[in-house]
Structure 1
Amino acid sequence: MTVCSSNRPTPIPGFLDDYAFVACGLLDLYEATLRTEWLRWAEELQLRQDVLFWDAQGGGYYCSQPSDPTLLLKLKQDQDGAEPSANSVSALNLLRLSHYTGRPDWARKAEHLLAAFSDRLTRVPIALPHMVRALLAQHHTLKQIVICGERDAPDTAGLLATVRSLYLPHKVLMLADGDPQGFLSQRLPLLSSLKPRPDGAAAAHVCQDFTCALPISDPEELRRALLEPHPPPPPAL
């Protein structure tokens, strides 16, 4: 049966949930596979999400495209129910992407998003547990774990297995495989200075705010380094 083109549904930009949840899944998929095509896609979705849904005046994202003339109300969801709200998911997406892309504007956008919901977070934090998680990630600063080595080498796999065996909610994991034209290398100049050991063995670099400790090649030593508590925040001035 032939369907007349005039009866086809008119395409729409989608909704905030479509972008936020897919981007979150892509970031998790990158950490599971270390294939940068997932990071590239997540970056593209976040850029498009910012254009379609960001509230430049009040901060946060609208659930639907605010310029849509058929909308009666421009809403922002402020409740994490059976599934987290798209704004809560987006707050953590922005923080993670700022580390993967070297874009400080996304870290600032996450700060503005959290500020937009600050009254709700202060009065009823139990209503936004996933956003509280993003707030904690912002407060502690995500720890960057960079594994330098050949993707399929046993020593690289050993370091990755150590990282994945630990519960580290405030971290981003990345693989630096030495490709100067790769997604991460093009966005993070820091990676050009991080190398495997001189003998070619894989090395892990534990970094915070793009400042890295000495490389670690022993999985047990890496485990101890990752379990060290965060340093206390600097005193308020």
Structure 2
Amino acid sequence: MLEDYAFTANACLDAYEATADITYYRFADRIAARMQDKFWDAQGGGFFDSERSIEQKLGVLGTPRKPFQDSPTPAGNPAAAILLLRLNAYDHNQEIHDRATRTLALLADKASQYGIFAATYGIAVVMLQLPHSQVVILGEDETADQLYAAAAGSFRFGQTLLRLKKDQAVAQNLPPNLATTIPNLPGLLQKSVAVVCSGSSCQPPTSDPNHLAQLIWSQPK
């Protein structure tokens, strides 16, 4: 059941980043909260694969497990850690960042033994180590198309790409980190622009695709 929550919430984040519909982000946030309530091991860290409150379990369901090995679908704990890290990039929630870190630490000394079956774990570890950033494109004209293409062609691990209509650049339509920055940037309504944000700060807006690519690659690695 852990995997169901982690996969669904990650899919909701994918949908948010593809559509800029804040409803999907809110779904992901709520599903992640329920996932932590049901499966998080506060004492040992990591996530159990079935709900702790279920008293009567049959067969293997009676044995608590913390799945880390892909078989071949992504394992529950790395998928849950990826979800928490993605959410943390939008909300800088120290608690969920710490839970992702504790989850990944459980397998740190054994991960190499799993080979390709630790692939999802490896992705999660890279996400933990690299800084996260958001590239936000605002506009619907040809300039916005060029900015979007430049950002997509300059992809970096840990980077998300959002495209907003200008009337979507309001606090109630954005995750917490972006809600405190994007609506307050100058020049957003005059022309199509791109903004590179990390944490609670953003670079000045640009309408030049080449400059945008430079901004992306100048972000901390």
What secondary structure is seen at the aligned counterpart in 1 of 2:127?
Answer: helix
Aligned to 1:3: none
With normalisation by structure 1, the TM-score equals 0.79
Note the C-alpha offset of 1:45: 0.5
Given residue 130 of structure 1, which amino acid in structure 2 is its aligned partner? T
Q: 2:29 aligns with which of 29, 43, 63?
A: 43
Given residue 191 of structure 1, which amino acid in structure 2 is its aligned partner? I
Report if the CA contact (8 A) 1:185-1:191 is conserved.
Answer: no
Output one character per residue of 1:65-87: Cα deviation in whole Å (capped at 9) or x when no partner. 02211232111112023211121
Aligned to 2:144: 156
Larger helix fraction of residues: 2
Tell whether 2:215 aligns with 1:191: no
For residues 130 and 197 of structure 2, the distance between their equivalents in structure 1, rounded to whole angstroms, comes to 13
For residues 155 and 36 of structure 1, the distance between their equivalents in structure 2, rounded to whole angstroms, comes to 24
Aligned to 2:66: 76
Over 3 Å counting, the alpha-carbon distance change for 1:162 and 1:122 in structure 2 is same
Output one character per residue of 1:111-136: Cα deviation in whole Å (capped at 9) or x when no partner. 12112222223554643111211111
For residues 35 and 89 of structure 1, the distance between their equivalents in structure 2, rounded to whole angstroms, comes to 23
What secondary structure is seen at the aligned counterpart in 2 of 1:217?
Answer: coil
Tell whether 2:178 aligns with 1:178: no
Output one character per residue of 1:39-77: Cα deviation in whole Å (capped at 9) or x when no partner. 111111101111111111111111110221123211111
Q: 2:100 aligns with which of 93, 98, 110?
A: 110
- Structure 1 unaligned spans of 5+: 1-14, 232-237
Given residue 42 of structure 2, which amino acid in structure 1 is its aligned partner? A
- After TM superposition, what 4+ stretches of structure 1 lie above 6 angstroms from structure 2? none
% identical equivalent positions: 28
Over 3 Å counting, the alpha-carbon distance change for 1:215 and 1:125 in structure 2 is farther
What secondary structure is seen at the aligned counterpart in 2 of 1:57?
Answer: coil
For residues 229 and 196 of structure 1, the distance between their equivalents in structure 2, rounded to whole angstroms, comes to 22
Aligned to 1:5: none
Report if the CA contact (8 A) 1:101-1:188 is conserved.
Answer: no
For residues 195 and 110 of structure 1, the distance between their equivalents in structure 2, rounded to whole angstroms, comes to 35
Please give the residue correspondences for 1:208-219 in structure 2 after superposition, counting only pairs within 5 Å: 208-219=198-209
Higher Cα Rg, which structure: 1
For residues 114 and 174 of structure 2, the distance between their equivalents in structure 1, rounded to whole angstroms, comes to 40
Aligned to 1:12: none
Aligned to 2:13: 27
122-131 or 86-95, which moves further after superposition? 122-131
72-81 or 124-133, which moves further after superposition? 124-133
Over 3 Å counting, the alpha-carbon distance change for 1:64 and 1:196 in structure 2 is farther
Aligned to 2:126: 136
Report if the CA contact (8 A) 1:80-1:129 is conserved.
Answer: yes
Output one character per residue of 1:114-161: Cα deviation in whole Å (capped at 9) or x when no partner. 1222222355464311121111111111122233x34x3443333223
For residues 163 and 19 of structure 1, the distance between their equivalents in structure 2, rounded to whole angstroms, comes to 30
177-186 or 103-112, which moves further after superposition? 177-186
Please give the residue correspondences for 1:46-57 in structure 2 after superposition, counting only pairs within 5 Å: 46-57=32-43
33-42 or 210-219, which moves further after superposition? 210-219
Over 3 Å counting, the alpha-carbon distance change for 1:137 and 1:214 in structure 2 is same
* Count of residues paired in the alignment: 214
Report if the CA contact (8 A) 2:181-2:202 is conserved.
Answer: no
- Structure 2 unaligned spans of 5+: none
Over 3 Å counting, the alpha-carbon distance change for 1:175 and 1:185 in structure 2 is farther
Calculate the aligned-residue CA RMSD, in Å: 2.5
What secondary structure is seen at the aligned counterpart in 1 of 2:170?
Answer: coil
With normalisation by structure 2, the TM-score equals 0.84
